[in-house]
């Protein structure tokens, strides 16, 4: 068994224009001061982390590693959630997602997709230069407008969508394979990969590509009313990244999982700071230890009530207290004895 590494923190929600949150040095000092041991780095802000330089310059990658090591930190994973989203965008969402692309590419979906694919390939090379083995991203979505089967979906529509999604991702997955890095898709509403069934579709469409893996975030499963513990039992061989994020679902007679277009604070399902929601993290950490999860436990903070800095401070302690240092011996070894083949045969009557 493996002891889960942690605590780590995803920096995306904490970057601002004010110190210490406006530089990687400042963020590193802040995170280390709270007790975090790793950071998950967003790759869309060059003043924090320059993805292209990290992909093309080992010296720059080594500088990032050294900067973080100076604060007692490592990189858990790089994140291309925004770029991964742009690998596949349905026209209904094109204008909304344009903000994730460079300004010069907005309004040009074809050029935006080319850029997104190139960003993903740079992320593979940057991950390799940083010595990483897992990468966090989104799949993008072509079929999401059709997630509810009304009006009735034309036969073959979903199959065609996943065939196209796989076609776009296969060259990316191959680049990550060359780099020795797993692509961990965060299963998330709004993505074509949002649960186990949709991940299975994608895996089949890619020919079971060995780099197609999962970023496990139980909060999105609470909001979908999916059994996240059973999910770990079923999909643990594919889980190679872990967002430790809490959530709650408060059953209502007025709205359900679709939430009636309400703001986050009024929705039946909403994200919460660690320990304030309903996720059974004791069971999750136990299962991840049981199944030899090899990666980091990374806080992703989202909460419509609590201040983010408080959530981060409390989250570091919460994760640390849930880490299980796995045993190196069986608890009942004291009552055993050395192997005696002859005795065992006598006991069996043979």
SS3 string, the chain, reads CCCCEEEEEECHHHCCCCCCCCCHHHHHHHHHHHCCCEEEEECCCCCCCCHHHHHHCHHHHHHHHHHHHCCCCEEEEEEEHHHHHCCCECHHHHHHHHHHCCHHHCCCHHHHHHHHHHHHHHHHHHHHHCCCCEEEECCCECCHHHCCCCCCCCCCHHHHHHHHHHHHHHHHHHHHHHHCCEEEEECCCCCCCCCHHHHHHHHHHCCCCCCEEEEECHHHHHHHCCCHHHHHHHHHHHEEEEEECEEEECCCCCCCCCHHHCCHHHCCEEEECCCCCCCCHHHHHHHHHHCCCCCEEEECCCCCCCCHHHHHHHHHHHHHHHCCCCCCCCCCHHHCCCCCHHHHHHHHCC
Q: What is the pLDDT of residue 185?
A: 99
Q: What is the pLDDT of residue 1?
A: 84
Per-position pLDDT tens, the chain of length 350: 889 999 999 999 999 999 999 999 999 999 999 999 999 999 999 999 999 999 999 999 999 999 999 999 999 999 999 999 999 999 999 999 999 999 999 999 999 999 999 999 999 999 999 999 999 999 999 999 999 999 999 999 999 999 999 999 999 999 999 999 999 999 999 999 999 999 999 999 999 999 999 999 999 999 999 999 999 999 999 999 999 999 999 999 999 999 999 999 999 999 999 999 999 999 999 999 999 999 999 999 999 999 999 999 999 999 999 999 998 877 777 667 788 999 999 999 99
For the question of whether the overall pTM of this predicted structure is more than 0.75, the answer is yes
Q: How far apart are CA 212 and CA 23, in angstroms?
A: 32
Q: How far apart are CA 39 and CA 81, in angstroms?
A: 15
Q: How far apart are CA 235 and CA 8, in angstroms?
A: 22
Virtual torsion, Cα 109, 110, 112, 114, nearest 10 deg: 160
Geometric angle at alpha carbon 11, from 8 and 13, rounded to 5°: 125
CATH value at residue 23: 3.20.20.150
Q: How far is CA 119 from the centre of its chain?
A: 18
The total of structural domains in the chain comes to 1
Q: What residue numbers bound the domain in which 336 lies?
A: 5-348
Q: How far apart are CA 308 and CA 301, in angstroms?
A: 7
What count of residues does the chain have? 350
pLDDT in tens, 326-350: 988 777 776 677 889 999 999 999 9
């Amino acid at each position: 068994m493996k002891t889960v590494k942690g605590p780590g923190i995803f920096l995306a929600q904490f970057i601002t224009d004010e110190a210490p949150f406006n530089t990687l040095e400042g963020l590193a000092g802040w995170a280390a001061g709270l007790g975090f041991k790793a950071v998950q780095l967003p790759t869309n802000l060059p003043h924090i982390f320059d993805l292209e330089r990290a992909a093309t310059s080992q010296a720059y990658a080594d500088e990032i590693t050294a900067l973080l090591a100076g604060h007692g930190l490592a990189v858990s994973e790089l994140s291309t959630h925004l770029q991964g989203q742009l690998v596949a965008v349905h026209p209904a969402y094109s204008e909304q997602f344009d903000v994730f692309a460079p300004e010069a590419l907005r309004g040009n979906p074809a050029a935006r997709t080319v850029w997104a694919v190139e960003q993903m390939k740079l992320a593979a090379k940057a991950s390799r230069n940083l010595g990483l083995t897992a990468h966090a991203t989104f799949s993008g979505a072509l079929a999401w407008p059709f997630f509810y089967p009304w009006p009735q979906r034309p036969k073959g529509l979903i199959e065609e969508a996943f065939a196209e999604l796989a076609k776009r991702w296969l060259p990316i997955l191959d680049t990550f394979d060359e780099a020795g890095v797993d692509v961990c898709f965060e299963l998330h509403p709004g993505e074509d990969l949002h649960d186990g069934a949709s991940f299975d579709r994608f895996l089949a469409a890619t020919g079971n590509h060995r780099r197609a893996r999962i970023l496990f975030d139980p909060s999105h499963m609470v909001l979908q009313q999916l059994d996240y513990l059973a999910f770990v039992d079923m999909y643990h061989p594919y889980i190679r990244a872990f967002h430790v994020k809490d959530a709650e679902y408060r059953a209502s007679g007025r709205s359900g999982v679709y939430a009636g277009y309400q703001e986050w604070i009024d929705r039946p399902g909403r994200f919460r700071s660690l320990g304030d929601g309903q996720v059974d993290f004791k069971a999750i950490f136990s299962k991840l230890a049981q199944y030899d999860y090899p990666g980091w436990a990374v806080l992703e903070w989202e909460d419509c009530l609590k201040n983010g800095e408080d959530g981060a401070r409390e989250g570091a302690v919460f994760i640390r207290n849930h880490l299980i240092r796995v045993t190196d011996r069986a608890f009942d070894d004291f009552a055993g004895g050395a192997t005696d083949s002859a005795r065992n045969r006598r006991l069996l009557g043979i």
